[in-house]
Each structure stands twice: as C-alpha cells, then as structure tokens.
Amino acid sequence: MKRRSYLRQSVLPLISSAGIGAVFAGCTRTESDDSRITTSDKMASTTTSTSAQSDTQVSQVRIETVLTGLTHPWGLTHLPNTQKSLLTERVGRLLLVDRSAGTYDRVNGVPDVFTRGQGGLLDVCIHPSFPDPSWVYLTYAVARDDGATTTAVGRGRLDRDDPRITDFEALYYARPYADSAGHFGSRVIVGPDNKLYITVGDRQFKDFGPDHVAQDRGSDLGATLRLNLDGTIPDSNPFIDDSSARDAIFSYGHRNAQGLAVHPDTNAIWQTEFGERDGDEINILTAGGNYGWPIADESCQYGSDEPIGVSHGDREDVIAPVYSWPCGSGGFPPSGMAFYDAETASKSRGIVGWQGDLFVGGLASQSLARFRIDNQQVELIDHLLTNRGWRIRAVSAAPDTGAIYAVIDSDDAELIRLVSA
C-alpha cells in the first residue's frame, strides 16, 4: 500500500492583520494500484485564533486542515448520518473522504471527462433520500470527436464498501456544443421541489449584443437548467410550451454561474455568477427569469472601462442581482456558496454567531465572504481566510457537526474547515 501524509500542523489565523481593516470596512487511475490514501498522523492539530469581527457571539474560530495534496478539487457534498463526504477533482477523480480520520478512498467508475481549460469532473450532489436510493449526481465536461465541448450531468449508484460508481448514465447534455474550454458552469443541487438545478455557462461567447447565446432561449448556454431526478424534463418548467425554447431552461441571461444554494427559511434558490471585468453577482432565481447577461450587466469589458450593456435598473425585462460588485470595485469572482442555518450552527462544532449567514467562496479575491441576510437585503460582513493565496471553489456545512468546509482550488490543494474553538 502506498501511503501519503495529508494532514499537517499549521498556525492559521482566521483574518490577517491586513484583513481586519477590511472586515470592519466592509476518470483513470494515475498513481498506484492501491486507491486507498491514508496518513500516519491523526487529525492535524490546528490553532485557535480570535475572530476580529463585530459579532460578540463569536470570539474564537479554529481552522483545521482535513486533506492536503489535492489536484484542483471542485465539488463537495456530505453523506447523511456519517462522517463521509464526496469530493471531486477536475482531473477526473471522485474521492470518498473520511472527515474524522483525514483519509480518502478513490471512487472508481466515474465517466470519462474533458479536462482541458476549465473542464473536468466538476460538481457532485446526492439523491435527497440517499442512501436509499444511492444515486450520486455528477456534472462534467465532455467533448465530441470534432473537439466541441459541453456540460453534462449524469448519475450512478455509490457502493461505499468497495468505493465505486455503478450503473452510471448520462442524463443530459447541454446544447449546443461549443468550440471552447471555458465557462462550463456546472454547479448542481437538488432543490426543495426535489428537482435538479444545474448551471451552464455561456461558453465564452463574446457577442455582447441581444443575439448572445445567454439571451437565446433556444440554447441551454448561459442558463440554469431544471430536471427531474431521472433526467427527464418537468412539465412545470417555465418554457415547456414554447416551441422556440429549450424545455430544460429554468432561468437564463447568466454568464457563468458556479454557486447554488437553497435558503433554509424561504426555500428560494440563490445563485452566484461571474461577471466579465467585475460585475459579479448574487441572484435569487425565479422561474423564467432573464438575469440580463450581456444586455444588462454591471461589469465592464476586459482591458477598458466600457460597460457591457446597460445597468439592470435601466431595463424592466431583466431581474437585478440582490448583491453585485460593479465595474471598478475590484470584483469578487464568486464560486460555491452555502447558507449556514440555525440547526447546523447549533451542532457540537458549529459557530452560533454565524447562524443564518451566507458564505461565498472567492477565487481571484482569495477569501471567504460572509454575508448577513435579511429577506432580500444582503450585507457583506467579513472577508475570511485572507492573505493565504487560497482560491475557494466550494463551501458547505456539515449537518452532523456544524463545521464549515472550504475547498481550495490549486494543483496542490487543501480541504479545510472552520469550527468553534
């Protein structure tokens, strides 16, 4: 058995001294025949740091390193009533993680994926009644023989005893395929209506006028799709009776959305979306809604201060974000997101002072943003995990312990968690 150490000891302050001011201002095997990866250490010892924030309920938060040595991890989901999670790596690997031991097993049986550019094995979620049935849903990039690519979603059954995916089937391919290696979108969740919601990016089309693919309901690109759990199209989808529109579309006018989360009180589906230059957004999705890209947007074109389209407020036929980073703000390219509900925050390792807050991972901003939510009013409270060079791709809260997990995206990446000290 090949052994690799993953857990390391380190001192990790939650907010750097430079970040404190900001807070108050605002599928093939590649290594060995043995897929079991373990460590000779116990869970890494970690350090406690005082959280410099205005919430008096939160005095100390600890950061723990769960895994190291990951290769561009992307998606994370927790299995119910267990300390196990599923973690994807863009290179085409699916890992079954033991969060308490800091180890993982390689899961075999994942589909072949297109791994160039921003492609690869991307997000993962589970059936709402898991483990009965034991369906696991994966999003991934695929390529045709002619090189054109698209976003796909499929499902298979997870065998946890001999970690593998069986009976895998592709459920849906976004159309049309494109000659691009970027903007696959690919976040997937199960909504409160037991439907799959999948984001698909605009595949980097640069025609910023009304003929852009994200404004074409005859295309799945630049849209949020809604499917039944078996991959069929729900009869209640907003454009099901429109012969000129793709039946799977739930919302459109998106550039490249990579965050989806269900609000724990309202059941509304929230989404994060990348802008062009700045113009990043947090949206609340509405069936049939047009979110503007690129005819209404708050970003500017790369290399200039020229706006892309008009502001959302200048058009009545689009839905404005509930929070955005306009051109000139520096942006916050947002990826994964998670709400931290009161029940989860009350668990043994939960952080009570953060209950009800929204957490959004930042890529180029290299931080974890914490927002206070009041109905549809969104207030940025903290930038956490700053000054580490961590591009945070995914965020999730473990329902059994209340720990907040952050997936760091790099070629030598970590899985970390925030817990009460």
Q: What is the pLDDT of residues 198-228, one digit of tens each?
A: 999 999 999 999 999 999 999 999 999 999 9
Average pLDDT over residues 221-243: 98
Give the model's confidence band at 304: pLDDT under 50 very low, under 70 low, under 90 confident, else very high.
confident
Cα 71 to Cα 64: distance, rounded to the nearest angstrom: 19
Instruction: Give the separation between CA 54 and CA 108, rounded to whole angstroms.
Output: 46
Asked whether residue 10 carries a pLDDT value surpassing 60, the answer given is no
Mean pLDDT of the chain: 88
pLDDT of residue 189: 98
For the residues of 238-299, what is the DSSP string, one character each?
TTTT-TTS-TTEEEE--SEEEEEEE-TTT-PEEEEEE-SBS-EEEEE--TT-B--TTTB-S-
pLDDT at 14: 56
Helix (H) or strand (E) holding 155, with range, is strand 149-159
Which two structure tokens, joined as six digits, stand for 358?
A: 């929204």
Closest C-alpha to 291, from 220, 344, 224:
224
2 has a pLDDT exceeding 50: no
pLDDT digits (tens, 9 = 90+) for 311-361: 999 999 999 999 999 999 999 999 999 999 999 999 999 999 999 999 999
Phi, psi (5° rounding) for residue 40? -80, -10
Alpha helices in 106-255 (DSSP H): none
pLDDT digits (tens, 9 = 90+) for 89-126: 999 999 999 999 999 999 999 999 999 999 999 999 99
**124-164 tens-digit pLDDT:** 999 999 999 999 999 999 999 999 999 999 999 999 999 99
Q: Could you give the residue numbers annotated as active site? A: 183
Of how many residues is the chain composed? 421
More confident residue, 154 or 27: 154
pLDDT above 60: residue 64: yes
Within a 13 Å sphere around the CA of 169, how many CA atoms are in the beta-carbon half? 8
Tokens of 252: 């459109």
Strands 36-37 and 47-50: unpaired
Q: Tell me the sheet residues that pair with 173.
A: 152
Rounded CA-CA distance 115/118 in Å is 7
Q: State the DSSP code for 168.
A: E
- pTM check: above 0.95: no
CA distance 322 to 20: 25
**Cα dihedral 295, 224, 177, 164 sign:** positive
Sign for the pseudo-dihedral over CA of 377, 383, 389, 394: negative
Per-residue pLDDT at 45: 30
- Residues of the chain with pLDDT > 90, as a percent, come to 84
**Span 291-320, mean pLDDT?**
94
Element (H, E) at 373: strand 368-374
